[in-house]
Amino acid sequence: MSFKYPVVMPKMSMTMETGELINFHVKVGDQVKSGDVLFEVMTDKIDMEVEAPADGVIESLVVAPGAVVEIGKPVLIMLTETEVMAFDFGDDDQPVAGVEVATPAPRVEANAVAAAPIIVNTNVKAVPKARVEAANRGIDLRTVNPTGPDRTITMQDVNGAQLDPAIVKRQAANKALIAKGIEMTRAIAQASFNRQVTAHFDHASFIAAWAKVLRGRPDLAAHEHIGVALIIESKYGSALPVFRDPDQASLDDLRALVASTTDAAKNGKVPVAMLSGATTTVFDLTTYSMSSATPLLFPNQITSVTIGYDSQSSKNISLTIDLNFCDFYDGALLLDALVASL
């Protein structure tokens, strides 16, 4: 199966909004390898070669040399064997239209895109170690054909199990991303994602929206509640008051609480009860005129978000996830859902 992947005009500087296509290094039908130069672009500051993000074939050239292209708009379309992660999670056979790639349709139901596993066995019986092994390897035991006595799954069944194709696809996509230079170690494995948003929001509505997104993914939750820590700077240092289950309060109440807590924090007086129970952290960098930063993961949290300044009308949202608990796909989905719900 091949996937359509649009190669877009990259953003190469803070001020860049468009780029001019100088020339193509490939033509339709060319076989390219990841890293091959596809085309050259010129901006107000630099000229740059854009490389293929994966192996594939050039399907079409969207614009002609000399064209001025907005950042994020496609320059050419590639067909790839592995799915290259982008923020459009359309169905595989849905054609990728240029405009839709740049401003994808929001997808709030994050789980909806996971492919249905091939279930062969709804009443799973498995030996204890098979359950342990399946959990470790991410195998859904319902997809494993039981060959043991009384249709029980044995170790041999688990060892010979084919991974769910949806998982295989995700792993291939992850591999492609890792090949693009994301470093992972066993102890620290995190990935960060950025998106621009033009929506207007304040801290309360942002916190509520983020909590709601996380609530839609109970599989990623280590706690029964959602606690959003908001970093507030003051002359006393940083305070991290935690807003518990903010998506379940009325927005007016939450706004009042965020306002009063922010005032209290600036006076160094956050209620002690609000200083624990964080499951995620939000840091607003706009007051520092910072456009983006890689959000830091705090202990026992698997997500962290920053809000950065982009322009009068837009912000940069950055998300870091802990890859020990979720994968790139989850991270992309979470950020997609957050942006869509703002």
Partner 1 sequence: MLTMAEAVREAMSIAFDERPEVFLLGEDVGIYGGAFGVSGDMYHRYGAERVLDTPIAELGIVGAAVGAALSGMRPIVEIQFSDFTAQAMDQIANQAAKIHFMLGGALHVPMVLRTPQGSGTGAAAQHSQNLEPWFASVPGLKVVVPSNPADAKGLLLAAIDDPNPVIFLEHKLLYKIPGRDPVPEGATRIPLGVSKVVREGKDLTIVATGIMVNKSYEVAEKLAAEGISITLIDPRTISPLDMQPVFESVEKTGRLLVVQEGPAQAGFINEVIAQMAGSSSFGSLIAPIKRLAGMNIPIPYAPQLEKAAVPQIEDIESAAREIVKNWR
- Contacts to partner 1 by CB under 8 A: 127-132, 148-149, 152, 154-156
What is residue 126's DSSP assignment?
B
Q: Taking the complex as a whole, how short is the minimal distance between the CB of residue 139 and partner 1, in angstroms? A: 15
Return the ∠ at Cα 164 (arms to 161 and 165), rounded to 5°.
Answer: 125
Pick 90 or 148: Cβ nearer partner 1: 148
Pick 130 or 229: Cβ nearer partner 1: 130
Pick 110 or 141: Cβ nearer partner 1: 141
Q: Taking the complex as a whole, how short is the minimal distance between the CB of residue 235 and partner 1, in angstroms? A: 51
Q: Taking the complex as a whole, how short is the minimal distance between the CB of residue 220 and partner 1, in angstroms? A: 24
Q: Taking the complex as a whole, how short is the minimal distance between the CB of residue 107 and partner 1, in angstroms? A: 38
Q: What are phi and psi of 239, to 5 degrees?
A: -120, 145
Pick 136 or 312: Cβ nearer partner 1: 136
Q: Which of 170, 13, 6 is nearest to 103 (CA)?
A: 6
- Cβ-proximal residues to 226 (8 Å cutoff; 6+ apart), any chain: 211, 214, 215, 244, 245, 246, 247, 279, 280
Q: Taking the complex as a whole, how short is the minimal distance between the CB of residue 149 and partner 1, in angstroms? A: 5
Q: Which of 337, 300, 302 is nearest to 317 (CA)?
A: 337
- What is the longest distance spanned by two Cα atoms in the chain? 71
Paired strand residues for 74: 8
Pick 147 or 287: Cβ nearer partner 1: 147
